[in-house]
Structure 1
Amino acid sequence: MQQTKLSHQAIENTISLLNEDCTIPFIARYRKEITGNLDEVEIGEILKYKELFEALEKRKKAILKALEEQNLLTPELSEKIQNSEDIIALEDVYLPFKKKRKTKAETARLQGLEPLAKMIMSQRINDLQFTAKKFVTKEVENIENALEGARFIIAEWINERTDIRNNIRQQIARFGFISSKVINAKTEDEKAQKFKDYFDWEESLNRIPSHRFLAIVRAESEGFIRVKISIDDEIAIQKIERSIFRSQNDCTSQIQLAIQDAYKRLLFPSLSNEALQLAKEKADDEAIAVFSKNLKQLLLGAPLGEKKVLAIDPGFRSGCKIVCINAQGDLEHNETIYPHEPQKKLLEAIKKISFLVDGHKIDAIAIGNGTASRETEQFIQKIQFKNPVAIFVVSEAGASIYSASKIARDEFPNYDVTVRGAISIGRRLQDPLAELVKIDAKSIGVGQYQHDVDQSKLKKSLDLVVESCVNIVGININTASESLLSYVSGIGPKLAQNIIQFRNENGSFSSRNDIKKVSGLGAKAFEQAAGFLRIKNAKNPLDDSAVHPENYALIDKMAKDLNIKVADFIGNKALIQKIPLQNYISSSIGLPTLQDIMNELEKPGVDPREKATVFSFDATIKTIDDLRIGQILPGIVNNITNFGCFVDIGIKESGLIHVSNLSDTFVKDVNAIVSLQQQITTKVLEVDKQRKRIQLALIK
């Protein structure tokens, strides 16, 4: 509750729903009264802290069991463990009792030096040499060995003190610096040059942005630099001394040596690594958040809809692979043309494209944005078609991954990867969401340093984004692919497979009730999924809407009260506004749900996404050599990061609009200024041809 700032009741009710295996999209859409109208983001936060709490409780149980087995568990220790509020505090409590590998301190204990260590720490010995001499044995050859062993034990005690550990943690968090130094032997490595900004770098740890931290982590992992954390060691040691010393005597110098040893050998190495790990987790979270925002915008990109498309996967030497797909995305024709060098069969290519566009009644042409994209776009634009044909440039990111995947092989077993890739380009124009769900989200190419972050955390976050997008849009169960169906609330891969099998064996679903006939799809799965599945041309018009079947009886009652049919509600705003909603409030249905139902009745099954619009790059700009400072160019945002956005201006290299060049005022969130796939106008600020870097500014 403290973490989320939400009400106790809302959190409790939401956790209850999550424990009942309800999905986030279902809870957000159909259980608003129970949660207090929480949205998907707020429910996601509750889920995150629920999982953290469960992991903490699991670790507590493991520690309590371990201590009990060693007969070390006391009521006081048990209470400390139970009261630990995070994993770091819990591990600090457990540290003194944790089974360790053989340490210097453990060796000293076996030599019988722990009593000497206790005497020194009591700070009451006035003749230390005399006292230490009593501990000289066959194993402890002299007084210095005895004192050294005692210091090892004291150093371990200091290392295990929670207050000292927390103090150094605070110093690292507030005053720590992260620095990097180049490994000289690798300076001339070509790959190292992209990291040359970090060959001699230092920055405050609590201020370093996530993208820079991850860049440094990658440079270190590839062996180009060494990274370390630093604080003022002298101040840190002084703070430890103040927490220990009560008097000055013979013991003082020994304790000082033990403190220095504890700090340099145990405390700082451990806690600086911990700080690096926490900084990495923070950077990961920020990078994953950026990736998730980008992915959501990409998946909810404007679809062309059910139109006939001619798709082109452009190329030079290997030619341009072309496919014709119908409004449902099925392949009707494929072949290769060679309009560019070296073959340059331009006239033949023009005739072939014209023939196919006319013969297949093509509505739009989709051109992949890879190699030879601009040249192909310009060649297509020169063709005089009999009827208007819209021309789009479509992102190819991940198309090669899809074309070689099992999903693609299962869909098109008789065609090679080039045909599958071209089909994917065309289908992306028709419906980006339906096509992109077939590709591992990491391969789509949006975000920053996605290969350097925690991969399990990234996958989990991106899967939630895909699930959210699929359920926001809603799915036609009679045409959806297995991949698309698997992301519907409550379905998953196995039930998606069963739905496809049922569809193949029994034909199209004619009503939502038919969905219950699918093998393995029980009452819970139906409850979670039904509202997000659409049945076109169903007998009950509500089956093609986001109204959940559990509320059909309510709408029937509304219709009966008004002496009309349910179908009369559909799209009839004037009639819908006459309904006295307060009359239908009950213990399970409140105004939020009733208002959702009314909105859906006004426009049932309407796709929330915008429609695709044609965009043209500047025809005079073909390579980076054509750029000049001050040019005004149209572009499309193709990636967003915390430090700015990248823009496709129609050449191989994308330009960067740094966050400082997005607005005249401070920009906290890049997504508040631009969105993925947004068509914008830019100004060229700087061109570095050698490093192939382009700096742009946003023109509003």
Structure 2
Amino acid sequence: MDNNIKRIAVELSAGLGQVEATVKLLDEGATVPFISRYRKEVTGSLDEVAISQIRDRIEQLREMDKRRETILRTIDEQGKLTDELKKKIDAAETMAELEDLYLPYKPKRRTKAQVAREKGLEPLADIIFDEQNIDVEAEAAKFIDAEKGVEDIEQAMAGARDIIAEKINEDQESRQEIRELFEKQGVFTAKVIPGKEEEGQKYKDYFEWSEGVENAPSHRVLAMRRAEKEMIISLNCSPEEGDALFKLEDRFVHGSDQVRLAVRDAYKRLMKPSMETEVRLSSKKRADEEAINVFAENLRQLLLAAPLGQKSVLAIDPGFRTGCKVVCLDKQGKLLYNTAIFPNEPQKQTAKAGAEVAYLCDKYNIEAIAIGNGTASRETEAFVKSLGLPSKIQVIVVNESGASVYSASEVARNEFPDHDVTVRGAVSIGRRLTDPLAELVKIDPKSIGVGQYQHDVDQTSLKKGLDDVVISCVNAVGVEVNTASKELLTYVSGLGATIAGNIVNYRNENGPFKTRAELKKVPRLGPKAFEQAAGFLRIQDAKNPLDKSAVHPESYDIVAKMAADLGCSVDDLMKNDEKRGQIKLQNYVTDTVGLPTLTDIVNELAKPGRDPREQFEAFSFAEGIEHPEDLKIGMTLPGIVTNITNFGAFVDVGVHQDGLVHISELSDSFVDDPNKVVKVHQKVEVRVLEVDLNRNRIALSMKSEGSGPARSKKQKRQDRQERQEAREENTDNLSMEEKLKMLQSRFK
């Protein structure tokens, strides 16, 4: 069995057979959603998280194996590969260990040690290093050679020290010992660059800052690196020099002052810079992973927000001077009509705007009105609610983050080539009310406004992490193949952009799909793609009722046998609880289909194509609270969570500026992870702690009034810094257009 399989099984506490089967499926082209849903018998019911971990780890280990092969080949070509060295390289478990073993043989630019060797000083270095209780000067005198550039004893000893320093730096055990010291006892030390004090005020708490590498939270690591990148601070990362030198001297120095000098040179000139680079990269990687995890979890919650469902919607992108853009959408989200109204200042055409809205609601049988939460949102909401529209028409404020990004995108231009960005933005607001997932997949996740330091983390890892979330959400919900956009279909298991486009083209040319089997006629949608995708695609009006369910076509025969055994049709079996209760699952177990899959099938028959998202609940902000100036300390308000960071949550209370609930204010009890307390789009009740109109800052609390211990000055200082970083990050999530809107709202 592959050693990598064994290693992953140990690391993830999974069975060898589970890991081996999962890797085999992945290698055959199966997707994570498909494996977790339809191959439970093969993997022992591993979930998406475990399968994703196996996928990522096998990729890492295989990359390391490729590097191992390259290293072995390179050393062998040099004629220096011994059995002992090969054994060590084969046993290396980390990339750092591999590179340490390779370092002495790695082609490098001309070093001081190489120069010394060219002068014939390596024998002297060996003598000094191996036999430290000798007359060094007497030995060095033997190597004086003016023709080789060794003029005197000091030059000979200096060259020998250069060679010894390189040997010490390339000693694998020493590097590992110092690496562990950097990781466990390393300290980030930040200092402001002279003259940058005023420019870098937002980083002022890092002007004189030190913190252990091992325990530094991800957001502070990323904040310090950003400040360093902007050339506001200098940032170092190392343990106490004396601790490192003590370890190296204890290992190598046995009496010779020349070796002691070489050790110090090896550490300061060679090993310390190398280790600092490594630790900075490893701490950055850990910080990236944590930030990406925060972003991914927020994105998952946002994508799986409760949909209003198929309703006729009038959507409004509110505004003041340029008016409010209005669009009417049918139950499938098709644009029927668009116009502009001016109910707010400065035009204030309230009567005309009201008549227009009432007319449109009647003409298009509107069931809900969606209002963007940007500039003029509360004023527009108040205007609409004053019209006395039928009670059946819900008025709902919708988070419009990213709508402007979508409206200017190629996707929007292709979808609405004859309409400008304002119409496209209003359509996006309306559609994200009826089905947030279907609309938000059209927008780059980085523009949706739920990230933390997303511009600072590794962009490849970020994209992979976010794509995994989108794919997981899309396949968990399922996709109606006859109405889905190309963008939504792209994320379905086994498809991708090309096949998704082919599905849309086929649908346009031949009409709606009538069966899942018809998908096989789509160009490039071969047997493998069909296997991976079919279970996640729905056809609501299909003749076969199973085509609108999550039952995979490969299991249709099993369901037909169940129905036949009970003397009814498949349709009757799906509608009759009593009949389904008579199914004896053991009768249908085979070598390839076990109880987990059979249980899933019966559950799906009870609720075919069920949507895992929660039911939609309308929400309203407090009336009369529309601007930060309306807020008073101690006031209790309803709000919606819009973003979550490691140190708190942002909450929209309807005043055009999100307030921050710091992690210390999320609950009466201790909170180590905000995601354990709140979710994106969650409806919460908050209390106003502080309103700073000059800096447009709002501090909120979800704690009971008067609860919680007093915090120290240091804790309060850290809280302030984290609140500052969080506010800046929340602003960084906005597009330029959205930032301008925010500024216009602030200074109108």
> 2:533 aligned with 1:525, yes or no?
no
CA distance in structure 2 between the aligned counterparts of 1:582 and 1:56, rounded to whole angstroms = 45
> 2:401 aligned with 1:397, yes or no?
yes
Which segment drifts farther, 565-574 or 496-505? Answer: 565-574
Give the corresponding residue for 1:563.
567
Aligned residue pairs, count: 694
C-alpha deviations, 1:518-552, integer Å up to 9, x for none? 11111111100000000112111000000000000
Q: Secondary structure at the match of 1:426?
A: helix
Alignment of 1:547-562 (within 5 A): 547-562=551-566
> 2:320 aligned with 1:316, yes or no?
yes
**Of 359, 362, 367, the match for 2:363:** 359
**Contact residue 688 and residue 700 of structure 2 kept, 8 A:** yes
> 2:447 aligned with 1:443, yes or no?
yes
**Of 154, 164, 168, the match for 2:178:** 168
**Of 339, 342, 357, the match for 1:338:** 342
Give the corresponding residue for 2:62.
54
CA distance in structure 2 between the aligned counterparts of 1:644 and 1:399, rounded to whole angstroms = 25
1:262 partner letter: A
C-alpha deviations, 1:388-412, integer Å up to 9, x for none? 3111111111111111111111111
CA distance in structure 1 between the aligned counterparts of 2:396 and 2:490, rounded to whole angstroms = 29
1:177 partner letter: V
**Of 165, 173, 181, the match for 1:155:** 165
CA distance in structure 2 between the aligned counterparts of 1:544 and 1:220, rounded to whole angstroms = 55
Alignment of 1:166-565 (within 5 A): 166-189=176-199, 192-246=200-254, 248=255, 252-565=256-569
Give the corresponding residue for 2:586.
582
Q: Secondary structure at the match of 1:185?
A: coil
C-alpha deviations, 1:110-167, integer Å up to 9, x for none? 1111111111101345211111111122201211111111111111111111221111
**Contact residue 531 and residue 547 of structure 1 kept, 8 A:** yes
Which segment drifts farther, 491-500 or 566-575? Answer: 566-575
Q: Secondary structure at the match of 1:438?
A: coil
- Compared with structure 1, are the counterparts of its residues 179 and 572 closer, same or farther at alpha carbon in structure 2 (3 Å cutoff)? farther
Give the corresponding residue for 2:721.
none
1:114 partner letter: E
Give the corresponding residue for 1:14.
22
**Of 102, 106, 114, the match for 1:98:** 106
**Of 115, 123, 129, the match for 1:107:** 115
> 2:142 aligned with 1:134, yes or no?
yes
Q: Secondary structure at the match of 2:12?
A: coil
**Contact residue 546 and residue 604 of structure 1 kept, 8 A:** yes
CA distance in structure 1 between the aligned counterparts of 2:264 and 2:18, rounded to whole angstroms = 50
Give the corresponding residue for 2:736.
none
Shift of 1:699: 4.9
CA distance in structure 2 between the aligned counterparts of 1:217 and 1:40, rounded to whole angstroms = 33
CA distance in structure 1 between the aligned counterparts of 2:105 and 2:581, rounded to whole angstroms = 68
2:212 partner letter: S
**Contact residue 681 and residue 699 of structure 1 kept, 8 A:** no
CA distance in structure 1 between the aligned counterparts of 2:312 and 2:338, rounded to whole angstroms = 14
1:514 partner letter: E
CA distance in structure 2 between the aligned counterparts of 1:217 and 1:315, rounded to whole angstroms = 38
**Contact residue 665 and residue 703 of structure 2 kept, 8 A:** no
Q: Secondary structure at the match of 1:184?
A: coil
- Compared with structure 1, are the counterparts of its residues 653 and 195 closer, same or farther at alpha carbon in structure 2 (3 Å cutoff)? farther
Coordinate RMSD, CA, aligned:
1.3
Q: Secondary structure at the match of 1:332?
A: strand
2:198 partner letter: E
Shift of 1:431: 0.5
**Contact residue 191 and residue 208 of structure 2 kept, 8 A:** yes
Q: List alignment gaps of at least 5 residues for structure 2.
A: 1-8, 705-748
C-alpha deviations, 1:263-305, integer Å up to 9, x for none? 1111111101111100000000001111111111111111111
2:15 partner letter: S
Q: Secondary structure at the match of 1:365?
A: strand
Alignment of 1:605-644 (within 5 A): 605-644=609-648
Q: Secondary structure at the match of 1:680?
A: strand
Shift of 1:685: 2.0
CA distance in structure 2 between the aligned counterparts of 1:264 and 1:555, rounded to whole angstroms = 72
Shift of 1:196: 1.7
CA distance in structure 1 between the aligned counterparts of 2:276 and 2:694, rounded to whole angstroms = 38
C-alpha deviations, 1:69-89, integer Å up to 9, x for none? 322222222222121111111
CA distance in structure 2 between the aligned counterparts of 1:157 and 1:511, rounded to whole angstroms = 70
Give the corresponding residue for 2:672.
668
CA distance in structure 2 between the aligned counterparts of 1:57 and 1:455, rounded to whole angstroms = 25
Give the corresponding residue for 2:708.
none
Shift of 1:612: 2.3
Q: Secondary structure at the match of 1:665?
A: coil
**Contact residue 324 and residue 360 of structure 1 kept, 8 A:** yes
**Contact residue 190 and residue 207 of structure 2 kept, 8 A:** yes
Which segment drifts farther, 13-22 or 195-204? Answer: 195-204
**Contact residue 128 and residue 134 of structure 2 kept, 8 A:** no
C-alpha deviations, 1:571-621, integer Å up to 9, x for none? 322221111111111111111111100110001011111232221112232
Shift of 1:258: 0.7
* TM-score, normalised via structure 2 length: 0.91
CA distance in structure 1 between the aligned counterparts of 2:572 and 2:380, rounded to whole angstroms = 50
Which segment drifts farther, 195-204 or 621-630? Answer: 621-630
Give the corresponding residue for 2:693.
689
CA distance in structure 2 between the aligned counterparts of 1:678 and 1:547, rounded to whole angstroms = 32
2:675 partner letter: N
**Contact residue 151 and residue 257 of structure 1 kept, 8 A:** yes
- Compared with structure 1, are the counterparts of its residues 699 and 599 closer, same or farther at alpha carbon in structure 2 (3 Å cutoff)? farther
Q: Secondary structure at the match of 1:686?
A: strand
2:151 partner letter: E
CA distance in structure 2 between the aligned counterparts of 1:142 and 1:617, rounded to whole angstroms = 85
CA distance in structure 1 between the aligned counterparts of 2:598 and 2:334, rounded to whole angstroms = 39
Show structure 1 runs of 4+ deviating over 3 A. Answer: 688-691
CA distance in structure 1 between the aligned counterparts of 2:162 and 2:609, rounded to whole angstroms = 72
Q: List alignment gaps of at least 5 residues for structure 1.
A: none
Shift of 1:222: 1.3
Percent identity between matched residues is: 54
